[in-house]
């Protein structure tokens, strides 16, 4: 019941770097900023590796971006993925373009399952997975999580949160939604996006990092895929969020309660 899983590894700004808007509002300051793999994608890679460890198969990691994006592909290969695909594109991207490019990669790779991070921590759009599922005409399960906590035995044993059906044709996904836990069963091929509590990604061991150097990475020019590369979501202007101003001091709990309950209606 080997599974071919395609995962994404987007190169994003390291959240520990200070993100500052350029004075012209046209972008962010990139000087001195470090980059890493989108943390939600890391969770996707981890989940794919667990499925491969349990059921056999192949994990292919795709990234879309400039030359440097290959570093994140290597990071995923270092974790244990088998092959990489870099779709090279230096221009601006949006979920519309990303999903179109990924759909082309899926046409070629024909994966049984595509796992993406639910959102990337730069644009925080949370769309690419859903768009891809629609383009492929396949079912989707977003914000995949796990019933067991990240401190549980099951997690320590690296159990996958996604459960492959006995016949290998379906996958069950647990989702944390508003008010509770939902379980969906999707017919493969399907698209799943990951949420924080799905797993704790392994770190690439040093042996893994060195092995990764020999794993194949295919480079494809985005322009060669016959996709319209014009983003539909266009950044007009960036600004720092307005500084929060201090509010009022309250003298005691009575006053705080009045403010919260009567004025702000927060309680």
Footprint (CB under 8 A) of other proteins, residues 130-149 = 130-131, 133-135, 138-143
- Residue numbers 158-197 binding other proteins by CB under 8 A: 170, 172, 175-187, 190, 196-197
Neighbours of 71 (CB within 10 A): 14
Q: Is residue 199 near other proteins by the rule CB under 8 A?
A: no
Residues with Cβ < 8 Å from 125, sequence gap 6 or more? 94, 95, 119, 233
Options 110, 157, 214, 232; binder of other proteins; rule CB under 8 A? 232
Pair of tokens at residue 167: 């016949």
* DSSP type of residue 108: H
Considering the complex, state which of residue 56 and residue 187 has its C-beta at the smaller distance from other proteins: 187
Q: Is residue 214 near other proteins by the rule CB under 8 A?
A: no
- Say if CB 33 and CB 15 are below 8 A apart: no
Whole-angstrom Cα distance, residue 44 to residue 162?
Answer: 11
- Say if CB 238 and CB 28 are below 8 A apart: yes
Across-strand partners of 55? none
Q: Is residue 23 near other proteins by the rule CB under 8 A?
A: no
Considering the complex, state which of residue 51 and residue 127 has its C-beta at the smaller distance from other proteins: 127
Q: Is residue 217 near other proteins by the rule CB under 8 A?
A: no
Neighbours of 65 (CB within 10 A): 22
- Residue numbers 41-100 binding other proteins by CB under 8 A: 71, 74-75, 78, 94-96, 99
256 burial type by CB count under 10 A (0-12 exposed, 13-18 middle, 19+ buried):
middle
Q: For the CB of residue 94, give the shortest distance to other proteins in the complex, in Å.
A: 7
- The piece of 53-61, 106-114, 215-223, 241-249 that touches other proteins (CB under 8 A) is 241-249
Considering the complex, state which of residue 90 and residue 266 has its C-beta at the smaller distance from other proteins: 266
Considering the complex, state which of residue 39 and residue 88 has its C-beta at the smaller distance from other proteins: 39
Considering the complex, state which of residue 8 and residue 99 has its C-beta at the smaller distance from other proteins: 99
């Amino acid at each position: 019941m080997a599974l071919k899983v395609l995962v994404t590894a987007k190169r994003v700004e390291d959240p520990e770097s200070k993100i500052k808007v350029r004075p012209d509002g046209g972008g962010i300051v990139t000087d001195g900023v470090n980059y890493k793999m989108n943390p939600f994608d890391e969770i996707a890679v981890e989940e794919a590796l667990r499925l491969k460890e349990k059921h056999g198969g192949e994990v292919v990691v795709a990234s879309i971006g400039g030359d440097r994006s290959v570093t994140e592909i290597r990071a995923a290969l270092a974790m244990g993925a088998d092959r990489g695909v870099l779709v090279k594109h230096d221009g601006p991207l949006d979920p519309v373009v990303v999903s179109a490019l990924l759909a082309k990669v899926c046409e070629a790779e024909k994966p049984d399952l595509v796992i993406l991070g639910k959102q990337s921590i730069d644009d925080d759009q949370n769309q690419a997975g859903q768009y891809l599922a629609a383009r492929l005409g396949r079912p989707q399960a977003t914000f995949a999580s796990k019933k067991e906590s990240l401190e549980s035995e099951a997690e320590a044993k690296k159990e996958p949160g996604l459960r492959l059906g006995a016949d290998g044709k379906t996958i069950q996904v647990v989702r944390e939604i508003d008010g509770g836990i939902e379980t969906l069963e999707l017919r493969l091929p399907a698209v799943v996006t990951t949420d924080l509590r799905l797993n704790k990604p392994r770190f690439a061991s040093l042996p893994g990092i060195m092995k990764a150097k020999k794993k194949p990475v295919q480079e494809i020019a985005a322009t060669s895929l016959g996709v319209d590369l014009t983003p539909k979501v266009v950044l007009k202007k960036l600004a720092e969020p307005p500084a929060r101003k201090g509010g009022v001091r309250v003298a005691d709990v009575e006053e705080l309660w009045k403010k919260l309950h009567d004025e702000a209606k927060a309680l």
